[in-house]
């Protein structure tokens, strides 16, 4: 969704969020004290983004407070609304206060291990506050708790603003489909909503994004859509990343999908397990935002480069574009059938699909995903590559090669060969004979 600033009484949002957290607080014997003015408090905010901000700050406070969380909404003389969320935990040392808004930074000192988060929630809060033209401040000292203070512009009821210059930020709703067409489609899988939101915010400007909260949910989505890349956490409930990776790579329909696994487990055996299950990359957390974007770009670009090389290099076999055992076996079978029926005038895409044992649509989808070509284009390329093999043997003339691979016109064959490989068949034969 786009961040759209509208005139909202944020008292209602605060009350609803506090109500949602009341049970969790009660189970931890923590008291939430909410103080607001009697009068309505209208501010220009995006309701969903504001809810996300308050939820993240309350989640953070619940992790570290001792007994109380105080939430105060205060109108100021500067025509702003001031929101203060305070806990009575151990606080944050001055030298660490700027660092907590950087990706994956976590304060471990004197924190029980089950209270350590991903380190992206406060980064998301800062980003959302900035997108809504608000201000964010932290007041804290070691041993004296922490207070997060946010200011938003106050507004009058009935006034509405949509800021067209405000950049878009994607908030996670799991599962969610983004219909805007972008060059590549990435499926993000993680049970941690903060990390999903961070990755989405990081990648949405350049990619189409879909989110899932565990491996099973991701598999359900994959039955309906086909992304270009899957990025999954390893440790998740219901179905973890390792099992998801294994199931994707063992399924004919999805075996071609590249997979990046994200994990805090950095032992050698963990890397080995991820790669053995078919992961293309195994990335340790915390990771640099620039590095993960570069890795995604590199992985997708390399896939496209492999497909391009297969199309334009005469002697490169079809299995060069295979990224899994299933894809290799599929391409070997398809290529074998085509090579065995090259001079058959009745051979067609329908015949190929029938001999492989899948539907015409299934053949089109799989070949397009694996090789980047339609079945008709793939058949033509395999014929031309077979001709290149024949011509490289030296004793086969261009016209002979033409007829042996199913072309009836030498001139048309020469035109296709030149267009595909960038060299005329006679010149290709001369170069191979010289070499």
- Does residue 414 carry a pLDDT above 70? yes
Residue 158 resides in a domain:
no
Mean pLDDT of all residues belonging to the chain: 84
- Tell me the three-class secondary structure of 391-406, residue by residue: HHCCCCCHHHHHHHCC
Which pLDDT does position 102 carry in this prediction? Answer: 62
Cβ distance 69 to 58 under 8 Å? yes
Q: Do 346 and 278 belong to one domain?
A: no
Which pLDDT does position 3 carry in this prediction? Answer: 72
H/E segment holding residue 389: helix 375-392
Which pLDDT does position 180 carry in this prediction? Answer: 40
DSSP string, 216-285: HHHHHHHTT---SEEEEESS-SSS-HHHHHHHHHHSTTTTT--EEEEES--SHHHHHHHHHTT-SEEEES
Q: Do 380 and 290 belong to one domain?
A: no
299-302: long-range pairs with CB below 8 Å, 24+: 299/229, 299/258, 299/260, 300/184, 300/228, 300/229, 300/258
Q: Do 360 and 300 belong to one domain?
A: no
Q: How far apart are CA 421 and CA 311, in angstroms?
A: 8
102-111, 257-266, 339-348: range with highest mean pLDDT: 339-348
Cβ distance 7 to 47 under 8 Å? no
Q: How far apart are CA 426 and CA 401, in angstroms?
A: 11
pLDDT in tens, 123-139: 788 888 888 999 999 88
What is the extent of the structural domain holding 75?
6-153
Q: Do 291 and 324 belong to one domain?
A: no
* Number of independent structural domains in the chain: 3
Name the band, by pLDDT with cuts 50, 70 and 90, for residue 251.
very high
Which pLDDT does position 105 carry in this prediction? Answer: 52
Q: How far apart are CA 164 and CA 12, in angstroms?
A: 26
CATH number of the domain to which 23 belongs: 3.30.565.10
Residue that is last in its domain, among 112, 134, 153: 153
Name the band, by pLDDT with cuts 50, 70 and 90, for residue 327.
very high
Which two tokens mark 130?
A: 């900035």
Q: Do 272 and 398 belong to one domain?
A: no
Name the band, by pLDDT with cuts 50, 70 and 90, for residue 333.
very high
Residue 332 resides in a domain:
yes
């Amino acid at each position: 969704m786009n961040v759209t600033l509208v005139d909202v009484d944020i008292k209602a949002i605060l009350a609803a969020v506090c109500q949602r957290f009341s049970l969790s607080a009660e189970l931890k014997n923590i008291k939430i004290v909410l103080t607001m003015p009697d009068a309505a408090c209208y501010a220009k905010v995006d309701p969903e983004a504001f809810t996300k901000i308050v939820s993240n700050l309350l989640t953070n406070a619940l992790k570290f407070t001792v007994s109380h969380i105080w939430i105060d909404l205060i109108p100021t003389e500067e025509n702003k609304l001031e929101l203060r969320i305070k806990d009575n935990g151990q606080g944050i040392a001055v030298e660490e206060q700027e660092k907590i808004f950087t990706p994956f930074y976590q304060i471990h000192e004197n924190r029980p291990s089950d209270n350590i988060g991903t380190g992206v929630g406060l980064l998301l809060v800062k980003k959302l506050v900035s997108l809504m033209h608000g201000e964010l401040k932290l007041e804290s000292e070691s041993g004296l708790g922490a207070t997060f203070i946010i200011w938003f512009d106050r507004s009058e009821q009935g006034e509405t603003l949509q800021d067209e210059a405000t950049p878009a930020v994607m908030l996670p709703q799991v599962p969610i489909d983004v219909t805007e067409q972008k060059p590549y489609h990435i499926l993000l899988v993680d049970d941690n909503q903060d990390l999903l939101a961070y990755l989405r915010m990081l990648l949405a400007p350049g990619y189409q994004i879909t989110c899932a909260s565990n491996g099973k949910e991701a598999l359900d989505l994959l039955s309906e859509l086909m992304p270009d890349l899957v990025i999954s956490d390893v440790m998740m409930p219901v179905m973890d990343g390792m099992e998801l990776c294994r199931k994707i790579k063992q399924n004919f329909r999805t075996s071609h999908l590249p997979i990046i696994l994200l994990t805090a487990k950095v032992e050698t055996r963990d890397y080995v397990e991820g790669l053995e299950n078919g992961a293309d990359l195994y990335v340790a957390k915390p990771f640099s935002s620039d590095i993960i974007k570069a890795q995604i770009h590199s992985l997708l670009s390399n896939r496209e480069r492999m497909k391009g090389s297969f199309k334009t290099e005469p002697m490169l076999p079809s299995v060069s574009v295979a990224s899994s055992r299933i894809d290799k076996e599929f391409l070997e079978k398809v290529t074998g059938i085509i090579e065995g029926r090259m001079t058959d005038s009745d051979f067609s895409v329908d015949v190929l699909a029938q001999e492989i044992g899948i539907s015409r649509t299934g053949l089109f989808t799989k070949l397009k995903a694996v090789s980047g070509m339609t079945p008709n284009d793939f058949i033509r390329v395999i014929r031309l590559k077979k001709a290149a093999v024949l011509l490289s043997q030296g004793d086969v003339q261009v016209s002979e090669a033409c007829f042996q691979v199913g072309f009836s016109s030498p001139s048309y064959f020469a035109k296709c060969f030149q267009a595909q490989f960038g060299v005329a068949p006679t010149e290709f034969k001369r170069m191979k004979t010289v070499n």
